Every structure is written in structure tokens, then in C-alpha cells.
Structure 1
Amino acid sequence: MNDTSCQLYLISPLDVGGSFPDHLREALEAGPVAAFQFRVKDVDQQEAARLAEPLKAICDEFDVAFIVNDDVALARQLGADGVHLGQGDESLKNARDTLGLDVQIGITCHDSRHLAMEAGEGGANYVAFGAFFPTATKVTHHKPELDLLQWWSEMMEIPCVAIGGITPENCQPLIDAGADFLAVCGAVWSDPAGPAAAVRKFIDIMDDRPAD
């Protein structure tokens, strides 16, 4: 079983312009945060790179892994620490061939043990399961049960990420079931008290987890 404590994995809102770099810095200062996923839609690679570069610099400053969603070419251009791929994105093999062995590759596996096993056998660095709760971040058609996290953590060394509508109020069962990372978006960036307060709420809960 993977016995590392659960860690926070932040996912960006779709709008990362304007004052968002300041919000990211606030969140990371309140950390520790393990990773930040850069996720934008409907912008070309040049614009995506322009938006990503200051965010990557902040992540580098705080030693937080900078992960690009969906776009292997952008991850390579930025020198990102990793890329996260959905089932409809570029293949794991092609991404690995392009990015090399040192770059982390995560795979969305929805609620499927089969897809997760395939990803693990194919050399993924982590698998992501979800959505565990209703989410406004993206349209979802999969609702995994907690026993999926427990099964994976008992069977496999590769870390698993829980995603989808996760808040400080509902995350404890995911932690208890064996999630290595909680992927969080709206609960941090939309918190009325600000991202730093939201991160501290999650960290306080994770720090209270009993040792395995």
C-alpha cells in the first residue's frame, strides 16, 4: 500500500489572466501544495504559453510540480514537470516518447479499474479517478465509489488522484479510502475567504489524518 499522506493538487480555473497569478501565489504560500495543473480551453498554443509562463515561474519558486492539461506540445515547450491526459487525448506512449522519462504523466481513468490498470502498465506516473461529487468545472458522466480508491491503494504503488467537486466538507472519506492526492479547483478559487484560507482548510484536514 502507498503509505504517503494525502497531498493537495490544485487545478486552475479556465480564466488564468488578470489577477490570477496573485491568487496562485496566495494559495501556494498557504501550502504545502504538491502540484498545480494548468487547464485552459479554446486558446492557441502561443496564448496558452503566454498565460502559463508566469504561473510556472510561481510554481517553480515554491517547488510545486507544474502540470499541463491535455497538451503534450505545450508541456514540452514550457519544460513542464508533467502533463495530464484524458482518454481522448494523445496516447500515453506518444506522450512519453515526446517528453521523455523525467516528465510526470497522469491519466484520467474515470471510474474504470481496467483503464487504470492499462495506464499503470503503460508507464503512467499517476491515475485520476472521478468525479466523486457533482462539479461545475466540467461535464462528467462517471461516478466512482470509494472502494475504487481503496482497491487501487492496496494493489498498486502508482499514486491515485481523486477529482470532482471536492471540498473541505466532503474530502475526509476520500483521504480515508486511500487517495494520494485531492485535485481541487472551485473549492479553492471560489472560496469567499480567498484561496489561502481554502488551502489551509484542506491542509488542516490532511494533517489530521492518522498514520497508516
Structure 2
Amino acid sequence: MSTNSAAGDTDAAMTDCQLYLISPLDVSGGFPDRLERALAAGSGCVTAFQFRLKDVDQHDAARLAGPLQEVCAARDVAFIVNDSMALAKRVGADGVHLGQGDGDVREARELLGREAQIGVTCHASRHLAMEAGEAGADYVAFGAFFDSTTKASAHRPEPEILEWWSGLFEIPCVAIGGITPENCAPLVKAGADFLAVSSAVWSGDEVRAVNAFAEQIAAA
């Protein structure tokens, strides 16, 4: 996952900030249609989608992933599995996002291959981000920048960490945590390559939300 394509070269020239959608915990029923509408909105500003489920066995998770992968593939959007290297391998995902307790980047690389996109949650830690980069991560994620209804976090980085990272490293950085169209501008201006968003999109009209994010990113 690079800043100019869903699964491109992370050394490519930096482009505008893009959206990284994170799924709600319920992706059953008509959710594939909602995802299709979201990806079609915002003039293609969504370039990655994270499949995030909790307390669902791998067989059911793989079944739910299939239709969503098809939607993402049709739009050239990277399909990233949250937490589980095994599930990412099973479904042939474009990559995996690892929390600090979900395994090592090198282990994920060995299992998923050289082309896999591997991201790491680094909270508010410059040290963890540098470690992830040295281990071969394709992107690092900082947050939560704001209160989030999706996932509780005691970590509250300032936007300056994005400015620091983007000024020193070519590996893209993702801002996460309670981000909305109304509060995202400082993160874009600070250098976030991606805004990871969930409830701000799925709690209402997904098309309107993605369009609003696209407008704010362009204005910033």
C-alpha cells in the first residue's frame, strides 16, 4: 500500500492523503453493497480497506471476506486483514495489519510473501514506528488522535508525530482514531498519507461521508 496506488511501490513520490476504510464489526447482509458505494465515492480517494472482525471463527470470517474482496479487487483497493496473519494467508489478502501483540513483521513477511502489504500499529511511539520500519513494514499507524467509538485507546499522539515521520522516512504513515471530516484537516496538513476511518463512514450515509472526507482532504 503506497500513497499513489493500492499495492504499489512505497518509494514512489508522495501524493495527496487518501482514505483507508476500516470495516464495522458486522459486515453481513447488505454490507458489500455499502462498501461498493463507499469505494465509488470521493473520486477514488479510498485506496485501502481493512477487514476487522472480532470473536468470529476463521471459517466464518473467510466466508464473509469473499464478497468484500471482490468489491475491493474491482476498484483496485487493497484488501487488508486486521490482526490475523493466518486469515490473511487463507483468503489471499493483499496484506495484514498488526497490532503490537499480533506478531512480528518479519514473520508476516515470511508467511505472506514479499508483495504483501504489512502495517503496524505504533500508537504514539516514535520508537515503535522506527522498529516497524526497520523490520520491513510497508506503513506505520499512529493514534488514536481523537476519542473513538470503534476502539478504545489510551494513546493520544499529537499531529506533530506525523510531521516528524513524513519528514524523515519514505514509509507511509496512517492516522487513526476518531477521525471525521470535521477534524481531519490538521492530520492531513501534518503529513498523514492515509486517514483510517470507520464509524465516521459507516454510522451514517457512507457516500456522503466519503465525499465529505475527499472535500476536506483537497481543501487541506
Same fold at TM > 0.5 = yes
Q: Which amino acid aligns with 1:199?
A: V
Query: Which one of 92, 97, 103 corresponds to residue 90 of structure 1?
Result: 103
How far off is 1:208 after superposition? 2.6
Write the deviation string for residues 82-118 of structure 1: whole angstroms up to 9, x where unpaired: 1000000011111111001100000000000000000
Calculate percent identity across the aligned residue pairs: 64
Structure 1 letter corresponding to 2:14: D
Looking at structure 1, the residues matched to 133 and 192 of structure 2 have their Cα atoms a distance apart, in angstroms, of 16
Which of 23, 27, 35 lines up with 1:16 in the alignment? 27
1:4 is matched with which residue: 15, 31, 45? 15
Distance 1:146 1:208 in 2: 18
Unaligned runs of 5+ in 2: 1-10
2:167 corresponds to which residue?
A: 154
In structure 1, the partner of 2:154 is 141
Partners of 1:206 and 1:172 in 2: CA distance: 7
CA–CA distance in 2 between the matches of 1:201 and 1:49? 32
Moved over 2 A (4+): none
Give how far 1:190 is off: 0.7
Deviation, 1:206, is: 1.6
Q: Which residue does 2:211 correspond to in 1? A: 200
Counting only pairs closer than 5 Å after superposition, residues 53-64 of structure 1 correspond to structure 2 as: 53-64=66-77
Which amino acid is 2:216 matched to? Answer: I
The residue number in structure 2 matching 1:111 is 124
**2:188 aligned with 1:171:** no
SS of aligned partner of 1:34: strand
State the partner residue of 1:36.
Answer: 49
Quote how far apart the aligned CAs of 1:207 are: 2.2
Residues 13-47 of structure 1 deviation map (CA, whole Å, 9 limit, x = unaligned): 00110111111011011141110000000011000
| Deviation of 1:57 (Å) | 0.4
Query: For residue 62 of structure 2, what is the aligned residue in structure 1?
Result: 49
SS at match of 1:36: strand
The normalised TM-score by structure 1 is 0.95
Per the alignment, residue 27 of structure 1 pairs with 38
Q: In structure 1, how many angstroms separate the alpha carbons of the residues matched to 2:217 and 2:196?
A: 13
